[in-house]
């Protein structure tokens, strides 16, 4: 029985690594996969954090791998070593976290975005230290804390790391993380439903409030007004506020002066692009997490070619991993050159909406006229939402312009699309890899 189980375990994990390399983690080797009893396979995780990750990112791939390994239509149960399961409404069994903040999926918190997984270099030393300090004693040291820097430099990673650390230290703390767009959507929804009281109660009774990408608040006056009052209530109660943006508060066009001055009243810190050493360290760390071995010259090559941010490094590693597992090739200089393209020396291009549509029609196999048309079928809606998301990330067009371009839609449709894509990106690693591939193609032209 023991050997049967061991070989089942090896087969399931092997299938998973080959078919879904991006979701695999080094600690998968600590999992136990137990044989079917009455058509059921049990996967035992070492702790609640691992179990949460499996439930959020690996449920379907693991079921498919278990079915392929046994040749039967088995179901899969995910448990802790004592046989208990994580209940989503009652929260994590091991720490009695109240339902408010237990469910990391409510806030789309990424299980890997912890301080342990963050590489500290000259570029982000201060931001990292201040986030650590804030998670150790929220509301007392730097309030508010405002971290800014361009895309892919680790702002979201640091905010999620605060979430993990505050809750590790005090499981009962009420920690809320959301993007400014989610805040805005909740606010609009609350207004429409006449539920402003409960909206205010929800946002004004937290110990730590983190709002990511506040630059997106810029064009929304009523939301800014609401946020101003939320901010004041929390601040006066000595609750911690952490914000991130793509530029310092005073440079965010359309952000009201009173918010700019509130944001500036705490600590404002910049994250710079990573230097060579930091890029190499990030590559090594991400490889270790994926149990991916890459030779030193390959790591050097990637770190030399991709200089602007960590997200690009991660995208390159994902593509490299997929190419090597799908085609059973060793990771060497030939493969990495192929993967990054021969000689496109990282020129920063001006990306246009037309470039985005060109790549999306190609990768999703849809027609241009569909993207700009009125049809709402799922097969068209997703690529159209991806286009809107990318246009928001890479171009400076307004929400109205983007909506208008894609079939005369209004700005709320663009916000909705943006939120859906971001949430899916945070929770679905296969989709994340697909988006990164598209983003890399966009940058490389």
The site for ligand ADP (CB under 6 A) is made up of 113, 117-119, 124, 149, 151-157, 282, 285, 310-311, 314
Instruction: Report how far residue 230's alpha carbon sits from residue 223's, in angstroms, rounded to the nearest whole number.
Output: 10
- Nearer of residues 121 and 152 to Mg ion, judged by Cβ: 152
List the single partner that 151 binds among ligand ADP, Mg ion, none, CB under 5 to 8 Å by kind: ligand ADP
Least distance from ligand ADP to the Cβ atom of residue 354, Å: 24
Closer to ligand ADP by CB, 110 or 384: give it. Answer: 110
As measured in angstroms, the least distance from the Cβ of 39 to ligand ADP is 37
* Distance in angstroms (rounded) separating the CA atoms of residues 161 and 165: 6
179 makes contact with Mg ion (CB under 5 A): no
Q: Tell me the H-state helices in 92-153.
A: 99-102, 125-136
Examine residue 156 and tell whether it contacts Mg ion (CB under 5 A).
yes
- Helix or strand run (H / E) with residue 76: strand 75-79
Backbone angles phi, psi at 139, to 5 degrees: 80, 0
The verdict on 124 binding Mg ion (CB under 5 A) reads no
* Contact between residue 267 and residue 146 where contact means Cβ atoms under 8 Å apart: yes
> Hey, what are 76's tokens?
């899969």
Specify the residue, 28 or 113, whose C-beta has the smaller distance to Mg ion.
113
Could you tell me the smallest distance in angstroms from the CB atom of residue 249 to ligand ADP?
16
Residue 285 or residue 307: which is nearer to ligand ADP going by CB? 285
Q: Should residue 418 be labelled a site residue for Mg ion when binding is judged by CB under 5 A?
A: no
| Nearest Cα residue to 155 out of 144, 145, 142 | 145
Instruction: Say how far apart CA 372 and CA 391 lie, in whole Å.
Output: 14
Residue 246 CB, nearest approach to Mg ion (Å): 9
d(CA 204, CA 229): 9
Nearer residue to ligand ADP within complex by CB, 69 or 268:
268
Least spacing, CB of residue 270 vs ligand ADP, in Å? 11
Token look-up 């994250």 returns: 271
Q: Which is nearer to Mg ion, 41 or 269 (CB)?
A: 269
The H-or-E segment that residue 417 falls in is helix 411-427
Complex with Mg ion: residue 43 or 268, whichever CB lies closer: 268
Stretch that binds Mg ion, among 28-36, 153-161, 262-270, 374-382 (CB under 5 A): 153-161
Contact partner at residue 331 from ligand ADP, Mg ion, none, CB < 5 to 8 Å by partner kind: none
Q: Does 432 bind Mg ion (CB under 5 A)?
A: no
Distance CA 163, CA 441 (A): 33
Looking only at the bridges linking them, the beta strands covering 175-179 and 145-148 are unpaired
Stretch in the footprint of Mg ion (CB under 5 A) among 156-164, 274-282, 298-306, 421-429: 156-164
Residue from 71, 76, 277, 245 nearest 145 by CA:
245
**Between residues 116 and 189, which has the closer beta carbon with respect to ligand ADP?**
116
Query: Is residue 341 within 8 Å of 312, Cβ to Cβ?
Result: no
Q: Which does 269 bind (CB under 5 to 8 A by kind): ligand ADP, Mg ion, none?
A: none
- Binding of residue 182 to Mg ion (CB under 5 A): no
The window from 36-44, 150-158, 221-229, 264-272 that contacts Mg ion (CB under 5 A) reads 150-158
- In whole angstroms, the minimum distance from the beta carbon of 89 to ligand ADP comes to 29
Q: What is the DSSP string of 238-293?
A: T-EEEEEESS-GGGSTT--HHHHHHHHTSEEEE-PPP-HHHHHHHHHHHHHHTT--
The residue with its CB nearest to ligand ADP is: 154
* 406 neighbors 387 (Cβ within 8 angstroms): yes
Q: Which residues bind Mg ion (CB under 5 A)?
A: 155-156
């Amino acid at each position: 029985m023991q050997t049967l189980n061991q070989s089942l375990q090896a087969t399931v994990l092997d299938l998973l690594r080959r078919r879904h390399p991006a979701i695999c983690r080094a600690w998968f080797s600590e999992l136990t996969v137990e044989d079917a009893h009455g058509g059921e396979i049990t996967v035992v995780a070492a702790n609640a954090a691992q179990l949460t990750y499996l439930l959020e990112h690996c449920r379907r791939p693991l079921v498919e791998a278990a079915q392929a390994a046994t040749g039967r239509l088995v179901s899969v149960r995910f448990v802790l070593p004592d046989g208990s399961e994580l209940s989503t409404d009652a929260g994590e069994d091991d720490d009695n976290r109240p339902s408010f903040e237990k469910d990391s999926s409510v806030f789309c918190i990424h299980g890997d975005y912890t301080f342990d997984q963050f590489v500290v270099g000259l570029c982000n030393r201060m931001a990292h230290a201040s986030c650590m300090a804030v998670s150790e004693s929220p509301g007392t040291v730097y309030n508010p804390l405002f971290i800014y820097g361009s895309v892919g430099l680790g702002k979201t990673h640091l905010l999620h790391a605060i979430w993990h650390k505050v809750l590790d230290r005090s499981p009962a703390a009420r920690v809320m993380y959301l993007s400014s767009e989610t805040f805005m959507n909740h606010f609009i929804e609350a207004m429409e439903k006449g539920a402003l009281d409960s909206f205010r109660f929800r946002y004004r009774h937290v110990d730590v409030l983190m709002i990511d990408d506040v630059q997106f608040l810029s064009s929304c006056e009523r939301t800014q007004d609401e946020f101003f009052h939320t901010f004041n209530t929390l601040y006066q109660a000595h609750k911690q506020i952490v914000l991130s943006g793509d530029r310092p508060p005073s440079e965010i066009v359309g952000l009201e002066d009173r918010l700019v001055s509130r944001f500036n009243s705490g600590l404002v810190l910049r994250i710079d692009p990573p230097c060579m050493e930091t890029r190499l360290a990030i590559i090594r760390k991400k490889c270790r997490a994926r149990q991916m071995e890459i030779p030193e010259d390959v790591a050097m090559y990637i770190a030399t070619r991709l200089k602007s941010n960590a997200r690009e490094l991660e995208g390159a590693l994902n593509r490299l991993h997929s190419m090597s597992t799908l085609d059973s090739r060793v990771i060497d200089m030939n493969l990495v050159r192929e993967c990054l393209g021969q000689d496109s020396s990282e020129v920063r291009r001006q990306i246009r909406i037309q470039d985005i549509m060109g790549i999306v029609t190609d990768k999703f196999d849809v027609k241009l006229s569909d993207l700009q048309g009125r049809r709402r079928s799922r097969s068209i809606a997703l690529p159209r939402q991806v286009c809107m998301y990318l246009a928001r990330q890479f171009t400076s067009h307004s929400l109205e312009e983007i909506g208008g371009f894609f079939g005369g839609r209004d700005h709320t449709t663009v916000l909705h699309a943006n939120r859906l894509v971001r949430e899916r990106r945070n929770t679905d690693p296969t989709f994340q890899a697909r988006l990164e591939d598209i983003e890399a193609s966009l940058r490389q032209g």
